Amino acid sequence: MPPGPRSSGPVPPRSRNATPGDPRLSNELAGLRFAGAVPLDPKPAPTRPSTGAVGARAAQSDKGSPAQPVVVDVSEATFATEVLQRSMQTPVVVDFWAEWCGPCKQLSPILERLAETDGGRWTLAKIDVDANPQLAQAAGVQGIPAVKAIIGGRIIGEFTGALPEREVRAWLDQLLALVDEASAGLPGGPDPAVSDPHHTAAEDALARGDLDAAAAAYRARLAETPGDSDAALGLSRVELFQRVATIDATALRTRLSADPDNVEAAIMLADVLVAKGEVETGLARLVSVVRRTSGDERERVRAHLVGLFQALGDAEPAVGPARRALAAALF
């Protein structure tokens, strides 16, 4: 997931809590930078930031029953579920840190405390950049601590460095106020797709991380209303995440290094890249495969690219150039 407006990555299915494409979110929050960061050069330190029982703490509902955890440790293996899928339902604030990073030791406890205070209005996802370098690279992290707010699979706000608690609180308040305003349906009132029981069932399934149930709900909606573009878009995106859920990206790259013309591996790697937010790279890889292939193989790659265009939606900046590149490669 590259930062800011340069690229956005796949936008997961519609969320009741935010409008991912709302320009106010990007314009008012994206690109914030603050002093106090350290470069990504490992420096030995004996202790890691105090995180408490990360991943074990949960928000409490009004009746006192456990809800979703408000602080989670995230790895490359769990990123799609804990960050991308979760951001479909509620804002996710990602904290990129490392054991050797002194400012991280100041900021991490602040973020954890505020996440618990807000009781599930947003989730704090903690990513160790040493253990997960590809995630840090994909997010454009150059110094830590780096904090990025993600809604609907898109980075819509960020800052770098150890801010004092009052500034972090103000940043979060601005984020949540914009999200609340967007979720109120401004302008035009309630969204009919949100009030549909199938859409609601899909969102609930996504909140649980149940991709199969979400896909079933979207398919049920499309069976009743074939013209529901929101359900079609949601299903395409869920199917993308289903495809990449069990892919070993490292093994896939090794496979392609040994056999660069392996169409199946090329398609799988493109899915992984798009799901991680490296949209331009993923689409460009498939366009290059179209140029090198012919017959049934070319048609297979072309059809898969069209499916990715559908999953991303025309609002994704990388789709237009990729469509033109595909047309040039075909004709």
3-state secondary structure 305-320: HHHHHHHHCCCCCCHH
Q: Is 101 a catalytic residue?
A: yes
Q: What six digits make up the tokens of 127? A: 């990513």
Distance CA 9, CA 276 (A): 7
Active-site option among 1, 101, 215, 235? 101
Q: What six digits make up the tokens of 89? A: 């339902």
Mapped onto helix, strand or coil, the DSSP state of residue 103 is: helix
Q: Is 47 a catalytic residue?
A: no
R_g over Cα of the chain:
20
Cα 31 to Cα 128, 277, 284, 293, distances in angstroms:
22, 17, 26, 40
Residue with tokens 């009743």: 224
Using CB atoms within 10 Å of the CB of residue 9, give its burial: 0 to 12 exposed, 13 to 18 middle, 19+ buried.
Answer: buried
Contact 90, 135 (CB under 8 A): no
- Backbone φ and ψ for 150, nearest 5 degrees, come out as -125, 130
Mapped onto helix, strand or coil, the DSSP state of residue 36 is: coil
> How many other CB atoms are there within 10 angstroms of residue 146's CB atom?
26
> How many other CB atoms are there within 10 angstroms of residue 270's CB atom?
24
Contact 325, 284 (CB under 8 A): yes
Active-site option among 98, 104, 127, 240? 104
Contact 290, 327 (CB under 8 A): no
- For the chain, the straight-line distance linking the first and the last C-alpha, in angstroms and rounded, comes to 31
Closest CA to 283 of 271, 294, 292: 271
| Residues labelled as active-site residues | 101, 104
